[in-house]
Amino acid sequence: MPQQELLNALADDLDGAFERLVRTFQDRLYTFAHRLCGGREDAEEVAQDAFVRAYRALGTYPEERIRALALQAWLYRITLNVARNRRRRKRLPQVSIDNGGAAGEAARLAWDSPDDPGSRPDSRLEQAQQRANLASLVSTLPERYRSAIILRYVEGLSLEEVADVLKQPLGTAKSNVHRAVNLLRRAITESRR
Amino acid sequence: MNRKLKASMNPTLTVVRGLKSLPREHAPKSLLPAVLHRVGLGDTYWRLETSIGPVFVARSRAGISMVTRARSGSEFARLFESRFGRPIAPDKSRPPRNVRAVAEGRLRGRDAGLRFDLRGLSEFERAVLGKALEIPPGEVRPYSWIAREIGHPDAVRATGSALAKNPVPLLIPCHRVVRSDGHIGNYSMGGSRNKRALLESEGAQPDMLEKLAAAGVRYFGNEKERYFCFPTCGGLQSLMKENRVHFGSQQEALTAGYHPCGSCRPAAVAA
């Protein structure tokens, strides 16, 4: 299992193996941070901070703890914490999904999905536009729903893994994912009216 | 209504599918070097003044990774980035004493405790460079000597290629390896002129070596003690001229009853 190999390498020689860790996870953590924060610049800083924190933490862990780490979930958790702290520090204005404005417009556009046979767009450009709109809609969700739904459907984690990253009971994680989907659905439906 | 159509009308499914279709993004190129730099694993470089002009020395945590001449730090940084695909910053600290001593030919690389970052090289290439590190300042060895010493006596040409690819010349002294016919051969850091200048600054007398080679002399023998050496062997320094004999080949020396010197090892030394 390559993940275990990487963990062993980190346990044996952190400095020698750390670059491999970054190369392996940089796209995943950057994408995750981007979906969480919305902006590319924020995403890069969050991913950077997350890796630096991971390095420092690994330096304090005994070997056995590194070898037994659920690496991916651990890294997502660190990224999530960095993003949360950052948001708190910056006190970013939260746009509610319910009011119109940019979010409402995004919601309306996101609904015109290729799965809707009534309005199937043929061009790839439109599909890309819809994805962008859906992504920006996700970024307006309250944090606890946003992180749950990104981990579950964008990053493709199982519900157990989502619960593990969020340090929540399985039932809570499940209901957060569920509510997130409902919120998105409702926002989209309402925007259509 | 068929199942497919029903599913496509289901707004929850549409949301989930939309989320799943969001693409994975590529982290910007600047992410990795920024992280490595922040945790102290990034590469940095020093500038050294040497007998062949300014030379730049790159180091990572794993060790010294690249040495080359450049007109400026920024030119060196560009060379480094194009070779390794990661950026490099000037090192704020002074080059350590052992690095300076090795670069100036005052200390043998093997004795300086320098660590090298040779990650991209093959085992054979690393063996060649490791052997070159043993050659003391002021002495030279032929390519065939390295090939024999690392257990690949037939790989003389491959030894030459490995030395030509040496990422850390000067500190791993490939300039102390010369052609078996006495010509001093090529050099990656500025050609044979610089190789000659370096050897001269270390006291190896390349002109004398070429003259000897032209006269067919490859080895010196100690007539009194009956051993033979490469002409630059440090063990010969106290040898009086009247006790010195010349040989054109190993075979000639061995046939005359001379045994190879245990220090410069001009031929395989019996265990």
Q: Closest approach of chain B CAs to the CA of A153, in angstroms?
A: 5
Q: Closest approach of chain A CAs to the CA of B32, in angstroms?
A: 7
Q: Closest approach of chain B CAs to the CA of A181, in angstroms?
A: 7
Which are the contacts of A50, defined by CB distance < 8 A and separation ≥ 6? A29, A33, A75, A78, A79, A82
CA nearest neighbour of B260 among B143, B148, B134: B148
Q: Look at residue B247 in the predicted model and tell me its pLDDT.
A: 95
For chain B, the 3-state helix, strand and coil shares in percent, each to the nearest 5, are 40, 15, 45
**What are the tokens at A106?**
């995004």
Q: Which residues in B lie closer than 8 A to residue A138 (C-beta atoms)? A: 19
CA nearest neighbour of B62 among B173, B187, B170, B167: B167
Of residues A22, A29, A44, nearest to B28 (C-beta) = A44
Which are the contacts of B221, defined by CB distance < 8 A and separation ≥ 6? B227, B228, B229, B244, B245, B246, B247, B253, B256, B258
**What are the tokens at B256?**
């005359």
Q: Which of B6, B15, B65 to mutate to test the interface with A (most CBs of A within 10 A)?
A: B15
d(CA B39, CA B31): 13
Asked whether B230 and B236 are in contact (CB, 8 A), the reply is no
Which are the contacts of B89, defined by CB distance < 8 A and separation ≥ 6? B37, B42, B43, B44, B45, B77
Q: Look at residue A119 in the predicted model and tell me its pLDDT.
A: 47
Give the pLDDT confidence of A139-185 residue by residue, as tens digits: 889 989 999 999 999 889 999 999 999 999 999 999 999 999 999 88
Asked if B3 has any chain A CB less than 8 Å from its own CB, the reply is: no
Of residues A30, A111, A153, nearest to B31 (C-beta) = A30
Q: Look at residue A150 in the predicted model and tell me its pLDDT.
A: 93
* β-bridge pairing B219-222 and B177-178: unpaired
Q: For every one of its 193 residues, what pLDDT tens digit does chain A have, with 9 covering 90 and above? A: 578 999 999 999 898 899 999 999 999 999 999 998 878 889 999 999 999 999 999 999 999 999 999 999 999 999 999 999 987 777 655 544 544 445 555 555 555 444 444 444 455 666 677 777 788 888 889 989 999 999 999 889 999 999 999 999 999 999 999 999 999 888 877 766 6
Cα-based angle B150, B155, B159 (whole degrees, multiple of 5): 75
* Phi and psi based region of residue B216 (left: phi greater than 0; alpha: psi -120 to 50; beta: remaining): left
CA dihedral angle for residue A61, residue A67, residue A72, residue A74, rounded to 10 degrees:
-30
How would you class A18 by CB atoms within 10 Å of its CB: exposed for 0-12, middle for 13-18, buried for 19 or more?
Answer: buried
Reported ipTM: 0.80
d(CA B134, CA B150): 12
Q: Look at residue B14 in the predicted model and tell me its pLDDT.
A: 82
CA nearest neighbour of B139 among B162, B110, B100, B97: B110
Residue type, B28: P
Q: Which of B174, B233, B261, B264 is catalytic?
A: B174
Asked if B13 has any chain A CB less than 8 Å from its own CB, the reply is: yes
Q: Look at residue A96 in the predicted model and tell me its pLDDT.
A: 47
Cα-based angle B6, B12, B15 (whole degrees, multiple of 5): 115
In the three-class reduction of DSSP (H, G, I as helix; E, B as strand; rest coil), residue B170 is classed as: coil
Asked whether B166 and B129 are in contact (CB, 8 A), the reply is yes
d(CA A90, CA B5): 45
Give the pLDDT confidence of B59-113 residue by residue, as tens digits: 887 889 999 999 999 999 999 989 887 778 888 788 888 888 888 888 887 788 8
> What size, in residues, is chain B?
271
Q: Look at residue B88 in the predicted model and tell me its pLDDT.
A: 87
| Catalytic residue check, B233 | no
- Count the Cβ atoms, other than its own, within 10 Å of residue A5: 11
Half-sphere CA count of B110, side-chain side, radius 13 A: 9
Asked whether B184 and B206 are in contact (CB, 8 A), the reply is yes
Of residues B8, B32, B41, nearest to A116 (C-beta) = B8
Per-residue H/E/C for A10-45: HHHCHHHHHHHHHHHHHHHHHHHHHHHHCCHHHHHH
**What are the tokens at A60?**
């304090």
Query: What parts of chain B have a pLDDT lower than 70?
Result: 1-9, 269-271
Of residues B9, B17, B31, nearest to A44 (C-beta) = B31
Asked if A160 has any chain B CB less than 8 Å from its own CB, the reply is: no
Q: What are phi and psi of A127, to 5 degrees?
A: -65, -45
In the three-class reduction of DSSP (H, G, I as helix; E, B as strand; rest coil), residue B66 is classed as: strand
* Contacts across the A-B interface (CB distance below 8 Å): 100
**What are the tokens at B182?**
């006495």
Q: Look at residue A18 in the predicted model and tell me its pLDDT.
A: 93
